[in-house]
DNA sequence: GTCTATATATAGATAGAC
DNA sequence: GTCTATCTATATATAGAC
């Protein structure tokens, strides 16, 4: 892995563990094993790093979309849940949840990139829900985009909320959502 | 309003607009019209202020619970939604959503108070959902606490997510949730 | 590409006068 | 109860040597 990628992935972990305004270049330097000013060689401003972290997430999601394009809707749903399994396992929150709460403190470049990432995510879920209903894998009465919003908001917030309720509420949400999609 | 209350309410607005780690005592001083060190007279540490803000929310919620104790479940649901209407109207997020994303940076006193507030909120929603189903006002198949988690996570995250999708997604969530509770 | 040194701003917090 | 002055730590960022 290149130093640049190591910085991006470390920033990503810190943003989702502590929040955008609670991580610093020193935190990253300590993990990557370089000095604070060296990070500016790759990312002149914190904003540049923030944008790069979101771009990394967009790339990862597009890889998943591509790899699962031929799979059935239930498999796509399971892959969607797997994203949050990983988040919950490491006691993080998702990038959209972390950055939307700090939204009013972000530079417009980060805001715009975040908007685009959210759009890609929402479109993907909307599409596989519609496909799943079309093929009788899923059953739901709402518009596919509305159902996608319901499910995505469940997942965004349960990784946050289960930090203070109970960890097992995470699996409870997942199982309830899946069961209801498969029933009827 | 006392200076102390003014500080608490200003801190509350700032936490939900920008996040816990993005507001400072100077921000509050500028709004309240006093100097930064004067705030320490009321709240020695930022942690003390954080705790007070959550306590304020607990009090507000308990007032609502009391005032609506005699009302029907649908009215309680509408009052629950009204909390989020106010949040969305002012482009804020809810306290639980804001503080759970910053959870790992909070002192344990704030964490514990936040856990208690979340419990009060979850219990209230669980109770009026159960009551509503009992009286045939609501229809749902999940356990009441599970349904409460589904609805609360929808609301926590839609005020966050609709900052980057579309504002009208907020009303869309609300109406969809209510319609499904009333149907069947 | 990484370093040391530094600039500049701001954070949370305290001391002590009024 | 509020102020000025100050402390200490840390933030983002830059300059310039190696």
Mean pLDDT along residues B134-157: 98
| pLDDT at site A65 | 98
Per DSSP, the three-state class of A165 is coil
A51-182: CATH, from 1.10.3720.10, 2.60.40.10, 3.40.50.300, 1.10.357.10: 1.10.357.10
Residue B20: closest CA among A20, A114, A17, A162: A20
Question: Across the A/B interface, how many CB contacts are shorter than 8 Å?
Answer: 140
A172 vs B19, B96, B149: nearest CB: B149
Residue A158: closest CA among A106, A101, A85, A52: A85
| pLDDT at site A132 | 98
Q: What number of CA atoms fall less than 13 Å from residue A162's CA on the CB side?
A: 28
DSSP, res A92: -
Cβ–Cβ gap B98/A101 under 8 Å: yes
| pLDDT at site B184 | 77
Percent of chain B with pLDDT over 90: 99
Cβ–Cβ gap A165/B119 under 8 Å: yes
Q: Answer whether residue A110 shows pLDDT above 80.
A: yes
Dump pLDDT digits (tens) for A1-28: 999 999 999 999 999 999 999 999 999 9
Confidence of residue B159 (pLDDT cuts 50, 70, 90): very high
Dump pLDDT digits (tens) for A59-107: 999 999 999 999 999 999 999 999 999 999 999 999 999 999 999 999 9
Q: What number of CA atoms fall less than 13 Å from residue A130's CA on the CB side?
A: 11
Is strand D in 7 Å reach of the CB of A63? no
Q: CA B60 → CA A114, B80, B124, distances in Å?
A: 33, 12, 13
| pLDDT at site B117 | 98
Cβ–Cβ gap B164/A100 under 8 Å: yes
End-to-end CA distance of chain A: 47
Q: What is the CB neighbour count within 10 angstroms for residue A35?
A: 11
Q: Answer whether residue B143 shows pLDDT above 80.
A: yes
Q: Answer whether residue A179 shows pLDDT above 80.
A: yes
Cβ–Cβ gap A146/B17 under 8 Å: no
Ordered by start, the domain boundaries in chain A are 51-182
Confidence of residue A184 (pLDDT cuts 50, 70, 90): confident
Angle at B148 between CA B142 and CA B150, to 5 degrees: 75
CATH node for B3-182 = 1.10.357.10
Dump pLDDT digits (tens) for B108-125: 999 999 999 999 999 999
Dump pLDDT digits (tens) for B2-42: 999 999 999 999 999 999 999 999 999 999 999 999 999 99
Query: Rounded to whole angstroms, how far apart are CA atoms A138 and A129?
Result: 7
Mean pLDDT along residues A39-46: 98
Smallest CA–C1' separation from B40, nucleotide: C13
Query: Rounded to whole angstroms, how far apart are CA atoms A148 and A127?
Result: 9
Smallest CA–C1' separation from A2, nucleotide: C1
Query: Rounded to whole angstroms, how far apart are CA atoms B106 and B99?
Result: 8
As given in the structure block, the two tokens for residue B125 are 């929603």
Are residues B92 and B17 in contact, defined by beta-carbon separation less than 8 angstroms?
Answer: yes
How far out from the chain centre does Cα B114 lie?
10
As given in the structure block, the two tokens for residue A18 are 């502590």
| pLDDT at site B139 | 98
pTM of the entire structure? 0.98
Dump pLDDT digits (tens) for B63-99: 999 999 999 999 999 999 999 999 999 999 999 999 9
Dump pLDDT digits (tens) for A151-172: 999 999 999 999 999 999 999 9
Helix (H) or strand (E) holding A96: helix A95-101
| pLDDT at site A165 | 98
Residue A118 has phi, psi (to 5 degrees) of: -60, -35
Give the gap in angstroms from C-alpha A163 to the nearest C-alpha of chain B: 7
Are residues A181 and A131 in contact, defined by beta-carbon separation less than 8 angstroms?
Answer: no
Query: Rounded to whole angstroms, how far apart are CA atoms B125 and A123?
Result: 31
A154-178: b or e for each residue (b if 16 or more CB lie within 10 Å)? bbbbbbbbbbbbeeebbebbbebbb
- Chain A from 30 to 49: CB within 8 A of any B CB: none
Helix, strand, coil percentages, rounded to 5, for chain A: 80, 0, 20
Secondary structure of A106-133 in the HEC alphabet? CCHHHHHHHHHHHHHHHHHHHHHHHHHH
Are residues A110 and A99 in contact, defined by beta-carbon separation less than 8 angstroms?
Answer: yes
What is the spatial distance, in angstroms and rounded to an integer, between the CA atom of B71 and the C1' atom of D16? Answer: 72
């Amino acid at each position: 892995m290149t130093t640049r990628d190591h910085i991006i992935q470390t920033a990503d972990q810190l943003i989702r563990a502590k929040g955008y305004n609670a991580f610093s270049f020193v935190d990253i330097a300590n993990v990557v094993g370089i000095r604070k000013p060296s990070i500016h060689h790759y990312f002149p401003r914190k904003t540049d790093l923030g944008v790069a972290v979101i771009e990394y997430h967009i790339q990862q999601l597009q890889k998943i979309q591509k790899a699962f394009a031929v799979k059935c809707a239930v498999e796509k749903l399971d892959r969607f849940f797997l994203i949050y399994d990983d988040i919950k396992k490491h006691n993080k929150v998702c990038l959209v949840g972390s950055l939307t709460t700090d939204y009013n403190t972000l530079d417009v470049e980060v805001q715009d990139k975040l908007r685009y990432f959210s759009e890609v995510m929402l479109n993907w879920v909307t599409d596989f829900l519609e496909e799943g209903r079309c093929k009788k894998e899923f059953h739901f009465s709402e518009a596919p985009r509305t159902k996608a919003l319901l499910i995505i908001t469940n997942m965004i917030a349960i990784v946050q909320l289960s930090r203070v309720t109970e960890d097992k509420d995470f699996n409870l949400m997942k199982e309830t959502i899946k069961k209801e999609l498969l029933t009827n």
